[in-house]
Each structure stands twice: as C-alpha cells, then as structure tokens.
Structure 1
Amino acid sequence: MTGLVQVQLDLSNPQSHLVHVRLEISSPQAQQQVSLPGWTPGSYLIRDYVKQLEGFKAVQQGLERSVRRTDPSTWQIDCNPDAGPLVLTYAVMATELTVRTCHLDQDHGFFALAAVVLEVAGQRWSPHRLTCVVPNGWNAFVPLPREATGSWLATTFDQLIDSPIEAGPHQSHPFEVLGVPHRWVTWFSDPACAVWFADRYPTFFEDVKQVCLACCRLMGEPRPASSDYLFVLHLLDEGYGGLEHDDSTVLVYGRRNLETSSGYRKLLQLVAHEYFHQWNVRRLTPRELRPVDYNRASVIPTLWFAEGVTSYFDQLLPLTAGLSTPQDYFSDLGEDLSRYLLTPGRQVQTLRESSEEAWVKLYKADAYSASSQVSYYLKGAVVALCLDLELRRHQSSLSAVVQQLWRSHGRHGRGYGESDLLEAFEGQVTGLAGRLEQWLTDVDDPDCSGYLLDVGLALEPEMSSDPWTGMTTGLKDGRLVVQRVLRHSPAERAGLMVGDELIGLAGQRLAKPEDVPTHLRAGVAQPLLMARRSSLRELQLCSDPPQPKRYKLEPVANPTTAQQAAQEAWLQQRVG
C-alpha cells in the first residue's frame, strides 16, 4: 500500500509500564520530520506528551540514521528516499491513569494515541496500520476496522489518533442501536466489583441502549452518527470524566458513587454526554478544529456551545429515555444552578472568555480560580437552558437549532463559527442573536428565574446558619490552614491568603475547620491569630451576615395550566 505507515505497540511487559513502539515509514523523505502531538482533541490543554518518550532511534537498511531534534517534540532524520522503509523505535512510559493519557500495568493497558504515535510529515492523510502485541489472555479493543490479519487500519493519522486503545483480560458486551453495532468494555480496577455491579444493575446495558436511542431522537436521526461504536469504562474507587471520539468514548467513574440511585443516574448522564458528542463536537465542530493543530493551542470562542449545550442535554436525556423522574431532573439541574450562582468568578470572566481561555485557565485551576473564572461547561449549560426556554416561548426549541446546524454543517464536515451560531438562533427568534451576544460578552447573569417561572419552577436559596467569611479551611499535616479565599470577601479584606495557618480567633484556640464558625460574630471585628512563613501575625476578621449555602429548584405553588403544559413539553423535549 503506497504511503502506508505501520505502527506496532508492544505491551508484552506490562510490569515495566512501558509501551514499546515500532513505526515504519514505507516512503520516507530525504529529510524526514516526525513529531509527537502536544495535546489530544477534546481536552484543551497542551500536555507535552513527549516528556514520557524515551530511547528514540531511526534505522534504514539496518543502519542507524542521523537524527536531529528541532524542537522538544520534533525530530528530523537524514534518509535515503530510495533505500527502503525507515523504522523508528522508542518507548513511552504509561503511568498516568486518565482518559487523555496512558496507563499500563499487570491488570490492563489504556492508551490515548496522541501520547504514543508520531505524526510523519507528509503522511497525515495516508493510511496507518496498527498492530498490538499483548500478554497471553489479553484482548485489545480498538474503534477501527479490523483486518483479517488481526491488525487495524486507519484511513488517516487523524483517525488513528482518534482511536483510544483499551487492553486487558476483559470481555466486551455487544448490542445494537437502530441497527448499528456497539460494544461496551469495562475495566474493573477491583475485579470483585464486576459481580457486584452486575447484581446491582442488571438492566445496565439496556439502560445504556435507551440513552443512546434518546440521543438519536433528540437529533431527529434514524441512526447514530457512527457506524460502529465502542464504549470503554474505567470503574475505579473514585473518579469522574470522559473523552469523546468519533466512534468511541472512554469514561471514568467512581464505584462508590454507584451505591446511590443518584450516582447511577449521573453515570447515565455521563454516558449521554459523551455519546451526544458524536454529533455536537465530533462532527458538528468548531471551525478552529478543522483540521486540528496537534502542536499549538487554538482560540475557540464557541466551546460554550460544544460543551455547554451538551452538558444541558445530558441531564435531560436519561429523563426522556424513561430512566429518571422529573424530580430527579429538578434536583440535578438545581445543583448545577446552585454551583453557578455560588461561583464568584462568573462576575469576572465572560462566557466567551471562558471558552477562549480554556487552555490556560479551566484545565489549570488553582485555589483562587473560583474568584476569577467560570466553567464554559457550567455557564454554557445555564445559557443553553435559557436559550431552550426562550425558544419555547416562540414555539421552537434548542434541539431544533442543533438539528438545523447538524444539517447545514455537521453532516458535511463544515466547521462552524460564532456567526453561524448567532445566525441559527436569529433564524428561529428575531432578536435572539443580540440577546445571546450579550450573554456571551457580559458578566451579568441571564434571567434564569424568569425563564424557570415559564415552566412552573423557582430557585429557592437555603441560607447558612453561620456568618460568612468567604474562606474555606482544612487540615494539613495536623495544622488548620486556609484552602480558599474568595475575592471581595471578609477573609480577603482581613488580609488572609491560601496556605495561612489559623491558630486562634477571638482569644479561642482553633484546631479544626468546624471551630471557626463557632467563634464568629457577624459585623464585629475579631482578632485572628495566624502564621505565614513561620511568622505569627494578628489580623482583624469582620465576617458578614450568613449567605446562601445552596439553591434548590422547587415547583411553584399552584402552577397555571400554561406552566404545567410548558413544563411537560420541555421535560419530554417536545414543542408545544
């Protein structure tokens, strides 16, 4: 096959945590350049995967070729183009267990291939054949067409990089969604958990299928976007997350969460979120990601739509699938709205800025981030809720807009820009583009309460019983230390910062977090003894009156017939 790049991954020595890579270029250039991606699509952070690569060598006709490193993740190799294939060998340390990195031990292997496979200059759009050498008794699960020889064939480097690998002594569970084959593979970090999970959730695979069907209905599609789909779940003691791909997703979930009905429901919401990304993000894609630049960050002002709209729908989809109740949905939506309203950074960073700054803020959060930023997932979902309810006032819906964008852009692989989104919303409701533009560029909150009233709901604050300081404390090495200080809070006004050790308040010894509110008096300046860099200091802390500690979404008393009808149509994602 002309221009074929062959990639072999050797996982046969899992206790070393090293995957050994052999990459063969059938038609090398005289000055062949290769580079390792710096990030993986769907997770907007430059990760410098090259830090895990070692032992790089280049051989042609049995002779080692001269290699020059042109930047930390790029090599240039002197070749003879007429001397046959160029073979590159190296190893990658796989010790980081996330959905966007690599992990290999005696129990399993997982590989995000952006962290493993070099991009061959001039061969990005050439076929890549993948083979895996695995220990006895292991299977490799790859979302690529499999050849008769047991290898997998990707039509391009992009398709290969978009194909995560799970390997181990696992079995897959096959099922179909509207005639499309699906596979589910679970790695149980505790093998005993497999029986527990099967006994506790015997309808799990049927529930997953119903979520998938709900996604197709929401998109108005007779089939999934993928023609063959792979789910991979890492069921750990703790954890939460997922990463979407064209034909697969990798999920991480905490087993302890599954001991409650709400935990199971949120697993199904995670399934819905990543599965819905088949359409929104993977194929209906921001223009800045067509094509992906694997070596640099791209400013993507529409990430709020890619992730926020998906986050809004992921809570609704299990409901429309018949797997949760309206009360469950109100509880989950109320939690998100509460988190949003209790995030002071929403008054500093706009939604568009949150999208554009994902690379340097969301994925690099620190103890002060809550005061200076807001997640485009969270505020994006809040704006999506308001958009949906505004559209429903005019006999339309958010799903109708997503379907329209899918037909105009997603099906044809056309990347969209912010102007395309504004035009789509304006096409449904005159003036909505201007309102959306304001929600994207202002730090003022959308009128959630007004929209929720349309469907007979109200956000009710639950007040704390303690005076408000705007700081969070915890124990570290037996010392009571400040873990967070919110902007414009009493703690900030007093001069406290993260890492300060708290010793005494109002003449009383402090030993644990619950000691602090015991001695607080709102509106009264109280002496606070603390230590910073081994130096004792006394500050004056004047706490504010109690603030809301959370918000709950509650049905209004005596809803009107119009509110009841609107709520029913909204919850079932119908119009009218």
Structure 2
Amino acid sequence: MVDLSLDLGQPHSHLVHVSLRCTPATPVLRLRLPAWTPGSYLIRDYVRHLEALEIRQGTQSLQPIRSDPAGWRLELPSLEPIEIRYKVLAADLSVRTCHLDGDHGFLALAALALQVEGERWSPHRLSLRLPSGWQAFVPLPLQADGSWLALDFDQLVDTPVEAGPHRDHKFSVAGVPHRWVCWDATAPATAPADVAPDSLLNAHPALLQDVAAVCEACCRLMGEPVPAASAYLFVLHLLDQGYGGLEHDSSTVLQFGRQALLKPEGYRQLLQLVAHEYLHQWNVRRLRPAALCPIDYDKPVIVPGLWFAEGVTSYFDQLLPHLAGISSEEDVLHDFGTDLSRFLLTPGRLAGQSLRQSAEEAWVKLYRREANSDDNQISYYLKGAILALVLDLELRRSGSCLAQVLRDLWARLGRWGRGYREQDLLEAFCARSPGLAERLPAWLDGFEDPDLPAYLQDVGLMLEPQLAPSPHVGLTASLQGGTLEVVRVVRGGPSQEGGLVVGDELIAFEGLRLRKPEDLAPLLQAGQRQAITISRRGRLRTLAITAAAPAVERWRLLEDPAAAPEALQRRRQWLAVVPC
C-alpha cells in the first residue's frame, strides 16, 4: 500500500502539500514524477512545479540523489517505512494540470503523485485535507476512514480531483449512478454552495436530462445496454471563455465558456463535448491503441491510431445529440459544414502532414501551435473526423456503417482490454467493405482529399463555396498592445511574396493610416501593386504587395435540391446511425 496525502488547506498560496508514505522492499529505491498525463499527448514536465522535496525514515533525514530531471534514487539504511514530503505549485487552470485558489481546487494526479519503483501495481490510498466548507469529488471508491482507494498507480493517475464549496447533482443512465459537478468560475461567491443557485442549471433547466439522453445515445451507438463504467463523474469548469476536455475511465473534466453559451449553438456544443468525452469511455479508455498498453509515463510514445481514437470520436460527437433527440437535422448539417469548411481551408492538409503523420507528430505539433501551423500541419481530430464521415458513407455503399466497425472492434478487443494495432483497424474496416483495403491506407498516407462531393451526394448533400468580400492578401493582423501586428502570413500568398513576416507592425497602406484589422480590406485592389508601410524591429520599411482575386472564405454544407428519393432515405439512415 502506498499512501498519498494532499493538503489543500492553504489555497491562496496555490501550493499543494504532498505526503507520500510507503514501505520499501529494496535498499535502493527509485522515485519518478510522470512527464505527461494520458489523453493529452504533450510532455509537460510536471516536475518543474515540484519544490521542497524531503525524505525521512523514522527520525532520520535521507538525501535523495537526482538521477535525471524527474527522477531520484534513494539509498536506504533499512527497509523501515519512509515518508516523502514536497510541495507542488498549482497555478495552471486546464483539464490536464493543477489549479488551487480560494474558489476551488483541481488536481491532475499525474502532476502530484511520485511513482515508487516496484509499486506501480500496488494499491494506492488517497487522502485529502480541505479548507473548511469544501468537499471533494473523486471517482474512486470511498473508504470508511474518508480516504479513497485506487487499485494501482494507473488508476490513481487516472483520477481527477475537484474540490471546493460546490455541490453535485445525481442522475442515472441505465441504472448506473452518475454525478454532475460544476465549478462556475464566473459566479459571485455570495452564498454557501448548499443554498446558492446553480446558474447553469437555472439557465438550462433541462441540462441534466439532456446529458443523460446523450449518455444513453452513446450506449446505443456502442450496442451496449449500460455504460462501460460502474459509476461516472462529470466535472465542468464553467469559465468566461474556454473549451476542452479530458477523458478518464469513469469520469471526465470539461472546460466551457459562458460566452459561448450566449450563442444559439453554444448549448449544443456543450452537449457535443459531453458526448465526445463520454464516448471515450469505450473508444480510447478501453478500446485502446496497443502503444498505450501499458502507458509509459516518462516519455512520448508514437500512437499512429490517434486518428481513429480522436477522429472517429469527434465525428460521432456531432451525431450523438441528434441521436438523443436534442438537436435537429439542420443543426447536424450546420456543424458538419463548419468542420468541412475548416478542413478545406487548412492548407497544411495538402502538403504539410498526412493523417498518419499528424497522429505520429502529436507530441511535437498539435499541442504546440504557432503562427505557421495551418501551413504545415492538420489536426488528427479534424481530418480524422472528416475521414470518419467518408468511411461511414463508404461503408454504407456496402450495406454497413462506421458504428458497426466500432462495435466489432469493441467486441473483439475493447471488451477484453486488448490494445489494437493499425492492422486490427484495417482488418475491421475491410471485413465490412473489402474495397477499403486499398483506399484506407491511401487516405492515411496521402495528401489528396477523398472525393467529398461524391460521398456527400450519396446522402443528398452538396458543398457550396462562398467567396470573401475583398481581394485576397494572405495575412491576418490583430491589435497587440495597441499596435496592429501581423499574426499570420499565408505560405505562398501575396503578403509572403511581398516580404511581410509575422510580427511586422502595420503602419499605413497606400499612405493611409492603419489602426485596426478591418482598415486594410477596403483599400485592397486585386491585381494592382500597392505600397504598405510597416515597422520591423523598430525600423520603418515600405513593401509592395499585389492582392489576388477574392478567395473562398467558407464552405457551406447544403441539401442538394436535385437529390433522388433514395439519397434522402440514405440521409435519414445516416443521421439515425443505422446501416443502409
């Protein structure tokens, strides 16, 4: 048994005081803090937030020997129990890091729990000390002494901890208990949590009912009568702005922006986020890429199947609210149209990265976006979702559908905890549609788009381009500290050919002062060489750019007025997630 105690008693310090106790089995013991957390493929070097490490055995202080930046070696005088104490700065508010202040605490335990050599598969007990009036929400079995018990280190690290003066709301899905906890970062702390109104539920009184319906739709999609987890915890951080989520075996942590909820489609986007992370209960957490069986917490692991893990999940999260009876067909087409437009307007898909490369390079590109990212990469979430749409429509030509492939993989591998390799995916698709033996590898490795118009025509849909209202200059500018600064230059576009670079301050165009981003467009004339005055590293320069004709600004997904009745029937079956 390893005992991990976390003291959140001084929230305004942003410091979590950690105590880890164990009984060593060998005279030389190694300790290591994970470098990343599963589901978020970026080395985060959590050790940079660890401080004041000290180790005692009885009354004796032990000096650890640093073996590498995140690891230590202990030479022990005896095999008596030891206690390891340290502090961790919790000042980063995301779903994969730690945050502690006077309003709440959120802990990603990969950032807090040292892995003790030889104890990975031993039980780990978690204890918390909280400020007065706070309670903890932990997706682990609660023990009689108020602690929580994880079967092993992996289950401990897979446990997000939310704490604060919140309250939870209980509901069930197919008889399985679920809890919903919302930390509203925008609400004034005017009353205790047990009497304060829940502003999100007040604004959306059907929220829990809709969340339950989405969860039930996930079960139907997977062909399962009940969820994969025996109990489930939703934690929502409602911020002014923000979006994201991280999946766990029996819980998820979400971030969503209140500003987004003010838009008509915002509530639907929240339910899509719920659907995405809840579906991960099957696809990713249990139906897991073999490269993550078991997880190596110390270094990056290439996971070529991320396009399936995230792309297929992203595709279905658009359909699940509709399957739950909450969103309309028009909503689904609008949302798929938005994704298709983003995809077609991302130049990196054509030369920067194949879909397989996008997955393989997740550790160094996706989570480290910069000004040129759209030119040299494509998200495996986005392109994976577009490929999932294409695969679904291709499978329907053979009388099957993508949901059946997902269920096949779940029944053969996921249900038994067996990791899948790319060959397993290919075999599952080819078993339902033999023609994919050639097409799928080509789509994964190539840069040519699938024949989207033809596949959309199968279900009576079409893509319509919309041109921008002004000539194309190939740059994006925004106000940065009171100056108008170039934040993106399109590769091969008129601005790059004219010599502009990211970071240039825009001063004037054709002698007219530029003060805000929208000042430039009305001055552009396609095909004419025009002068732009900039400041670069403090020196004024005048460059010449020649704007091109207006480019496609967005694509719209529309119903094809000439669609045959059979195509309309296929569309109904597609939206109902049943095979043709």
TM-score where L is the length of structure 1: 0.98
d(CA) in 2 for partners of 1:365, 1:190: 28
Superposition deviation, residue 87 in structure 1: 0.6
The aligned residue for residue 144 of structure 1 is 140
Going from structure 1 to structure 2, the CA distance change for 1:305 and 1:545 (only over 3 Å counts) comes to same
Per the TM alignment, residue 413 of structure 1 is displaced from its structure 2 partner at its CA by: 1.0
Match runs of 1:11-410 below 5 Å:
11-82=8-79, 84-192=80-188, 194-348=197-351, 349-410=353-414
Tell me which of 548, 552, 572 is aligned to 2:552: 548
1:355-376, Cα deviation, whole Å (9 max, x unpaired): 0000000000001111110000
The answer to whether the Cα contact below 8 Å between 2:49 and 2:89 also exists between their aligned partners in 1 is yes
Aligned to 1:438: 442
1:572 aligns with 2:576: yes
Asked if the contact 1:58/1:77 (under 8 Å) is kept, the reply is no
- 1:128 and 1:156 in contact (8 A); partners too: yes
Q: What SS does structure 1 have at the residue aligned with 2:357? A: helix
In terms of mean alpha carbon deviation, does 217-226 or 194-203 score higher? Answer: 194-203
Q: Matches of 2:380 and 2:200 in 1, distance apart?
A: 33
Shift of residue 194 of structure 1? 4.9
- Whole-angstrom CA distance in 2 between matches of 1:147 and 1:196: 32
Aligned residues: 572
- Aligned residue among 452, 469, 472 for 2:476: 472
Q: Say if 1:308 and 1:380, in contact at 8 Å, map to a contact too.
A: yes
Higher mean Cα deviation, 311-320 or 503-512? 503-512
Q: How does 1:487-498 map to 2 (within 5 A)?
A: 487-498=491-502
- Using the alignment, how far apart are the partners of 2:350 and 2:563 within structure 1? 32
RMSD: 1.1
Deviation per residue, 1:401-441 (Å, 9 max, x gap)? 00000111101111111111111111111120210111111
| Amino acid in structure 1 at the alignment position of 2:228 | A
In the TM superposition, what is the alpha-carbon distance from 1:447 to its structure 2 partner? 1.3
Contact 1:528/1:540 (8 A) holds in 2: yes
What percent identity do the matched residue pairs reach?
Answer: 54
CA contact (8 A) 2:457 2:563 kept: no
Q: Shift of the alpha carbon at 1:279?
A: 0.4
Counterpart of 2:184, as a letter, is F
Letter in 2 for 1:132: L
What is the CA–CA distance in structure 2 between the aligned matches of 1:331 and 1:149, rounded to whole Å? 51
- Give the partner amino acid of 2:530: Q
Cα deviation for residue 534 of structure 1 reads 1.4
Superposition pairs of residues 495-534 of structure 1, within 5 angstroms: 495-534=499-538
| 2:348 aligned partner, one-letter code | G
Asked if structure 1 preserves the Cα contact closer than 8 Å seen for 2:54 and 2:63, the reply is no
* Distance in 1 between residues matched to 2:516 and 2:231, nearest whole Å: 54
8 Å contact from structure 2 (residues 95, 108) kept in 1: yes
The letter for the 1-side match of 2:206 is: T
Determine helix, strand or coil for the equivalent of 2:156. helix
SS at match of 2:572: helix
Task: Render the CA deviation track for 1:528-548: whole Å, top value 9, x for unaligned.
Answer: 222211122222201110011
Deviation of 1:81 (Å)? 4.1
**1:407 and 1:509 mapped to 2: Cα distance?**
65
CA distance in 1, matches of 2:12, 2:479: 36
| Structure 2: distance between partners of 1:221 and 1:421 | 20
Could you tell me whether the CA contact under 8 Å between 2:33 and 2:114 is conserved in 1?
yes
Looking at structure 1, the residues matched to 520 and 84 of structure 2 have their Cα atoms a distance apart, in angstroms, of 60
Where 2:367 maps in the other structure, the secondary structure is: helix
Shift of 1:28: 4.2
What is the Cα deviation at residue 21 of structure 1? 0.6
State the distance in 1 between where 2:197 and 2:160 align. 22
Select the residue among 400, 406, 413 that pairs with 2:417.
413
Alignment partner, residue 424 of structure 1: 428
What is the distance in 2 between the residues matched to 1:235 and 1:200?
A: 13
Residues 29 and 80 in structure 1, CA contact (< 8 A), matched pair in contact too: no
Aligned-residue offset at 1:525: 1.5
Report the Cα offset of residue 575 of structure 1: 1.4
Task: Write the deviation string for residues 2-45 of structure 1: whole angstroms up to 9, x where unpaired.
Answer: xx101101111111111101100123421111100000000000
Q: So what's the TM-score if we normalise by structure 2?
A: 0.97
What is the one-letter code of the residue matched to 1:34? L
